[in-house]
Amino acid sequence: MPENNKLLRFVNCSIIRDHKVIKEDIWVRDGKIVDPEKIFYDEKIIEDERIDCGNRLIAPGLIEIQINGGYGYDFSFEDKTEEGLTMVAKKLLEHGVTAFCPTIVTSPVEVYHKILPKFGYKAGGAHGATILGAHVEGPFINTIKKGAHPEECISNFQQGMLQVESTYGSLENVRILTLAPELVNSSVVIRKLKEKNIVVSLGHSMADLNTSEEAMLSGASLITHLFNAMLPFHHRDPGLVGLLASDKMTETNSISFGIIADGIHTHPAALRIAYRIHPDGLILITDAISALGLETGKHKIGQLDIEIKNHKAFIANTNTLCGSIASLIECVRNLILATGCPVEYALESASLHPAKVLGIHDKKGTLNYGADADFIILTDRFNIYSTWINGECVYESNPTNRK
């Protein structure tokens, strides 16, 4: 963290605030964004250091709520868990991600018990992005929509919360939990999870709209990778997708949705539909796998042989895709291209929107006064020029060019 009480002033920049791009300086002290009026009129001091941003855009740090691994590490493997978290947290800084929820897919009970204790909150800095807690995707999902999740590990709520607690061992480090709302006792479980401040996400599901609405009214507030691993939209019963336009949605019972804008998992037309129907709920995710960040060629991850070609990950020697390897800033660019949405909206979809669903938008995902000084400075092509956490520069694309 920067030297205590050192006042930084970022000048010659535009910033995102109140859903707009405005021309304004940013002042930072003690890891927080501060109100310059208090500096001028109350303290009557000037900055200790002035940082020229070269007429670049400053946006809130990106927040990734669904990422399975990267750089050869899979968060669901019990081998080298700490090493994998450390590596991915550090490398995510290059992509402008300042906080994330490492995601564990459906796994054996003993794996949860071994690795979940290692997924607790860890403040970010030069060592890497902040770890916000785990996103456990399963095992309480529908086998028909299991995707790549191992069927033998899928479970249910026959014993209600007792089943949940015995499966994970502890819920202390769980921040988001993906479940299928059609499972028996799911509404009771959702209410209990909400009481524990755990975000319930609906996914890997065959649920109809009525069941989905019941889950939302019970406290579910998120949909896991919209359009993927759920019933396709049907005009007589739109299923989970129909929640985006549900008349049961209220200010206290609303729904957000993660969407993979990697150009592969979600067609641009589907992106446009979701954006136009429920823009306030759109959250960009990567759902990236362990192949994120690996070079073109063949690799072995665990027991799986994969091949990276044309910026896509395939099972080796096949044309079968095995997951996303896009970065979150790439998804931001793809959303702008697909929908024509404003730049500030696209960036907030990867910062403010996930912060809101996690209930941390007073501190992260925003450049408001009093928020954590977690932000990115972007080039005119929306590449990451530098990444800052708590007012400390933790990544620079070209340090020798910094003014």
Catalytic residue among 262, 287, 372, 374: 287
Report whether 78 belongs to an annotated binding site: no
Nearest CA-CA partner of 131 in 141, 119, 113:
119
Q: Is 133 annotated as contributing to ligand binding?
A: no
Residue 373: CB partners within 8 Å, gap ≥ 6? 26, 28, 31, 32, 33, 388, 389, 390, 391
The answer to whether 76 and 47 have CB atoms below 8 angstroms apart is no
* Whether residue 287 lies in the annotated active site: yes
**Distance, CA of 313 to CA of 55 (rounded, Å):** 36
Q: Cα–Cα distances in Å, from 308 out to 60, 293, 318, 339? A: 31, 10, 11, 28
| 273 vs 268: CA distance, rounded Å | 9
265 among annotated binding-site residues:
yes
**Residue 228 annotated as lining a ligand binding site:** yes
321 has binding-site annotation: yes
Q: For the chain, report the end-to-end CA distance as a whole number of angstroms.
A: 20
Residue 13, annotated ligand binder? no
Residues whose CB is less than 8 angstroms from the CB of residue 279 and which lie 6 or more positions away in sequence, other chains included: 341, 345
323 is in an annotated binding site: yes
For residue 120, say whether it is annotated as part of any ligand binding site.
Answer: no
Contacts 24+ apart (CB under 8 A), 89-94: 89/122, 89/124, 89/127, 89/128, 89/129, 89/131, 90/127, 90/128, 91/128, 91/293, 92/64, 92/67, 92/128, 92/129, 93/128, 93/129, 93/387, 93/389, 93/394, 93/395, 94/384, 94/387, 94/395, 94/397
The whole-angstrom separation of Cα 322 and Cα 299 is 13
Pairwise CA distance, residues 48 & 314, whole Å = 51
3-state secondary structure of 82: helix
215 marked as part of a ligand binding site = no
Q: Is 148 annotated as a binding residue?
A: yes
Element holding 110 (H helix, E strand):
helix 109-115
- Which residues are known to be catalytic? 287
**Annotation: binding site for substrate:** 148, 228-229, 236, 265, 321-323
**Annotation: binding site:** 137, 148, 204, 225, 228-229, 236, 265, 321-323
